[in-house]
Amino acid sequence: MLNKQTLEELILEKALIDEGLDVIPQYKDETHKVVDLRVRKAKVDIEVDGLHHLLNPIQINRDLDRSYHSQQDGYATLHVPNMAIHMHLKRVAHSIAQALKFRMNRIKFGGKSRLNKTTSNL
């Protein structure tokens, strides 16, 4: 059974979909690791983090291990604090979408894609 999505995960997921990304919520891999949001074409896992991810040493080590295992699978991990979603949702979602679209182009074209001014304007 999958974990229940937090309000912040649902909000960010919708905002990223509105930005044109194909987002998989609560992605579970073969090791039973669940990531909050996965953007497969960009090879990026997005973890939406509450304050305890920065205040609890055990949680910090779990997050480091999870990020390491994602990296071993070829995925980068982006951590987005809940506060950023509440205070700057549109800018955060737009910036993430632009970065991941750039990353998808780079993957598609073998590392030759370049960020241009129209892509990077906020």
Indicate whether 117 pLDDT > 80. Answer: no
The residues that bridge with 48 in the sheet, in sequence order, are: 80
* CA gap 39, 74 in Å, rounded: 12
pLDDT at 81: 96
pTM of this structure:
0.84
Long-range contacts of 78-82 (CB under 8 A, 24+ apart): 78/44, 78/45, 78/46, 78/47, 79/46, 79/47, 79/49, 79/53, 80/12, 80/46, 80/47, 80/48, 80/49, 81/49, 81/50, 81/51, 81/53, 82/6, 82/8, 82/48, 82/49, 82/50, 82/51
Residue type at position 76: A
Beta strands in the chain (DSSP E): 24-28, 34-39, 44-49, 76-81
Higher pLDDT, 119 or 9: 9
Higher pLDDT, 36 or 111: 36
* CA gap 37, 60 in Å, rounded: 19
Indicate whether 32 pLDDT > 70. Answer: no
Question: What whole-number percentage of the chain has pLDDT above 70?
Answer: 87
Higher pLDDT, 116 or 39: 39
3-state class of 9 per DSSP?
helix
pLDDT in tens, 44-95: 999 999 889 888 999 999 999 988 988 998 999 999 999 999 999 999 999 9
Mean per-residue pLDDT over the chain, rounded: 88
Indicate whether 40 pLDDT > 50. Answer: yes
Structural domains for the chain: 7-120 (3.40.960.10)
